[in-house]
Structure 1
Amino acid sequence: MHASALPLNVTLAVLAAAVTHATWNAIAHGIKDQVLAFGLIGVGSIAVAVPLVIFGPFPLSACWPYLLGSVFIHVFYNLLLMRCYRYGDFGQVYPLARGTSPLVVTVLAAVFAGERPAPPQVAGVLVVSCGLAVLVFGGRRAGSGSRPESGPSRAALIAAVATGLTIAAYTTVDGLGVRLSGSSVGYIGWLMLLESLCVPAWALARRRREVVGGVSRRVLLSGVAAGALSVLAYGLVLWAQTRGALAPIAALRETSVIFGAIIATVVFREPFGRSRIAATVLVVIGVVLLNVA
């Protein structure tokens, strides 16, 4: 079947998720100890997930193979994301990791969900992906004269692309699973609870002394807040996936890289430059195409 244009409320929800996602990733990047950062994010996610599990409807049995599969994929996603932020600049690895997924989701949604995007939406996915590529590899550093902007290291490149593939995998799996759950609230609650238990446990096993006794109040609050924001961001996406096609939602969600670029410039003092301006224009054009009926 052909996927129709996204309703306005779905579009706004996914854009809100994009802003929220860029924010919590920026917080995670700002905590230098990535094991500690993602351990605290897991704690924050658990704190938000528990009320959803207690008060939300229990997901239907048909969704559980997808939900448990997504938990497994999410664990690898978090481990790979930690490596991304260890090896590369936020303004490069974040858009590369996020930008790998829309094209892959388009193919997976066609194969497993029978969703065939209309020509304008295919064009929108391609334009958004091109904009993200420009954001990673194009342009020059502000104030550097004619010196080209250095690209991500090989390790950062591999980690970011691998992260993007896990994003595409869990996006497709969750898109199918949440539609069978009977409750997007119950699905996100159980997903985030089960997923989030793994990383803090791993952090405790590796760095128990630092995690338990050596965390400053600022880092503690930042990490837990990032975890809460991560649940909100993905919860909005899962809700949207019950009301729209997977491929355009996946592409629209990746507008988070534009917000990430702004955060990278304002907070981390990474240059914005002409490449990011060009990427922003391309992504905006792509978003318009995604919403053409």
Structure 2
Amino acid sequence: MTIAAPVLLAVLGAALLHASWNTLLKRRGEPLLAAVLIAAGSAVAAIVLLPFLAAPARASWGFIAASSVVQTIYYLLLIETYRDGQVSHAYPLMRGCAPLLVALVNGPLTGDRLSVGQWCAMLMICGGVLGQWLVARAAPASGARRTTVFALLTAGVIAAYTLIDGQGVRRSGAPAAYTLWIFLLTGVFVCAWTARGRVRALAAFARANPLVAPLGGLASAGSYGIALWAMTRAPVAAVAALRETSILFATAIAAVVLREPVGRARLAAVALIACGAVAMRLA
């Protein structure tokens, strides 16, 4: 199954949104509080929009419940990953490993297999992403080992919810509503789990950073919603790999906003990712 140009462009847009809200999570300096606000913002957006959408098919509700639990774990791991680690270290590692895991597991489980050309394109994208991580790993940083462990755990969780949702959204008949229900339930779970005893700190953080919840919430829900819609029109593993072109945007944002250094090796890895995205379109 080839990937149509509109689907490709939509997934690239989702990649930009994803890199943006991850950078927002790190830049605020309080990953826990920022993550709770972003999850809450996504939940509020879901509450506003769901009354206007048709409900997902009954066959997809088990997938919605499972995905919500797994994505709650994802948020908790993401908080730990970014607590001490740099975006340029953690982001490529967790985003580069996840699509490889999806591609290896998804075919045998569902029969949704990639062509030889798509495999080559996916490996180029993942290779470029992991190359970014190797560059970041070469630079000394405190807590690098801890960041690596949590990033790898996060990658496994990303692969798990991608596999769940790749099948669930196809059964739903309503990709937008399916996505919003996941973000509503995930937002409730994350807030209930992490906000205990932190209500005052959370309120103070929200007042000091009033745009984190609306912007982060919309970017998070929008990014994943676009990806799930794309999975109804292209192989799950191919979409998962294309979504990791977010590292292109994350690299630019890390350099401009976070002032992290970008050298020749990292630019070469970015070029490999870009070539992989083009190859995925042509495969």
Query: Partner residue of 1:71?
Result: 68
Choose the corresponding residue for 2:122, options 120, 125, 128.
125
Cα distance in 2 for partners of 1:157, 1:139 equals 11
In structure 2, relative to structure 1, the CA distance for the partners of 1:139 and 1:198 (3 Å cut) is closer
1:276 equivalenced with 2:266 (yes/no): yes
Deviation string, structure 1 residues 149-197 (Cα, Å, up to 9, x no partner): 2367111001001101111111111010000001011101111101111
The range that moved more, 9-18 or 40-49, is 40-49
Choose the corresponding residue for 2:243, options 228, 253, 272.
253
The alignment partner of 1:6 has SS state of coil
In structure 2, relative to structure 1, the CA distance for the partners of 1:43 and 1:139 (3 Å cut) is closer
Query: Partner residue of 1:167?
Result: 158
Cα distance in 1 for partners of 2:11, 2:206 equals 33
For residue 218 of structure 1, report the CA deviation from its aligned partner: 4.2
Paired residue total = 282
Query: Partner residue of 2:202?
Result: 211
Indicate if the aligned counterparts of 1:71 and 1:191 stay in contact, CA closer than 8 A: yes
Deviation string, structure 1 residues 114-148 (Cα, Å, up to 9, x no partner): 111111111111111111111011379xxxxxxx5
Deviation string, structure 1 residues 40-87 (Cα, Å, up to 9, x no partner): 112210121113321111111111111111011101100000111112
Cα distance in 2 for partners of 1:204, 1:85 equals 18
What TM-score, normalized by structure 1, do the two folds share? 0.92
Partner AA of 1:173 in structure 2:
I
Choose the corresponding residue for 1:29, options 26, 30, 54.
26
Cα distance in 2 for partners of 1:102, 1:204 equals 31
For residue 34 of structure 1, report the CA deviation from its aligned partner: 1.8
Indicate if the aligned counterparts of 2:82 and 2:90 stay in contact, CA closer than 8 A: yes
In structure 2, relative to structure 1, the CA distance for the partners of 1:19 and 1:258 (3 Å cut) is same
For residue 281 of structure 1, report the CA deviation from its aligned partner: 1.1
1:237 equivalenced with 2:234 (yes/no): no
Cα distance in 1 for partners of 2:265, 2:57 equals 46
The alignment partner of 1:270 has SS state of coil
Partner AA of 1:47 in structure 2:
V
Partner AA of 1:101 in structure 2:
A
Query: Partner residue of 1:62?
Result: 59
Cα distance in 1 for partners of 2:34, 2:136 equals 31
Query: Partner residue of 1:12?
Result: 9
Cα distance in 2 for partners of 1:164, 1:216 equals 29
Cα distance in 2 for partners of 1:127, 1:99 equals 10
Partner AA of 1:79 in structure 2:
L
Structure 1 residue ranges, 4+ long, deviating more than 3 angstroms after superposition: none
Indicate if the aligned counterparts of 1:57 and 1:185 stay in contact, CA closer than 8 A: no
Cα distance in 2 for partners of 1:139, 1:240 equals 31
The alignment partner of 2:111 has SS state of coil
Query: Partner residue of 1:197?
Result: 188
For residue 216 of structure 1, report the CA deviation from its aligned partner: 5.4
Question: What's the Cα RMSD here?
Answer: 1.6
Identity in percent = 37
Partner AA of 1:127 in structure 2:
M
Partner AA of 1:238 in structure 2:
L
1:154 equivalenced with 2:145 (yes/no): yes
For residue 224 of structure 1, report the CA deviation from its aligned partner: 3.2
Partner AA of 2:272 in structure 1:
L
Query: Partner residue of 1:145?
Result: none
Cα distance in 1 for partners of 2:169, 2:188 equals 20
Deviation string, structure 1 residues 252-291 (Cα, Å, up to 9, x no partner): 0000011001100001110011122111111112112212
Gapped regions of structure 2 (runs ≥ 5): none
Query: Partner residue of 1:144?
Result: none
Cα distance in 2 for partners of 1:280, 1:126 equals 13
For residue 90 of structure 1, report the CA deviation from its aligned partner: 0.9
What TM-score, normalized by structure 2, do the two folds share? 0.95
1:116 equivalenced with 2:132 (yes/no): no
Cα distance in 1 for partners of 2:265, 2:198 equals 39
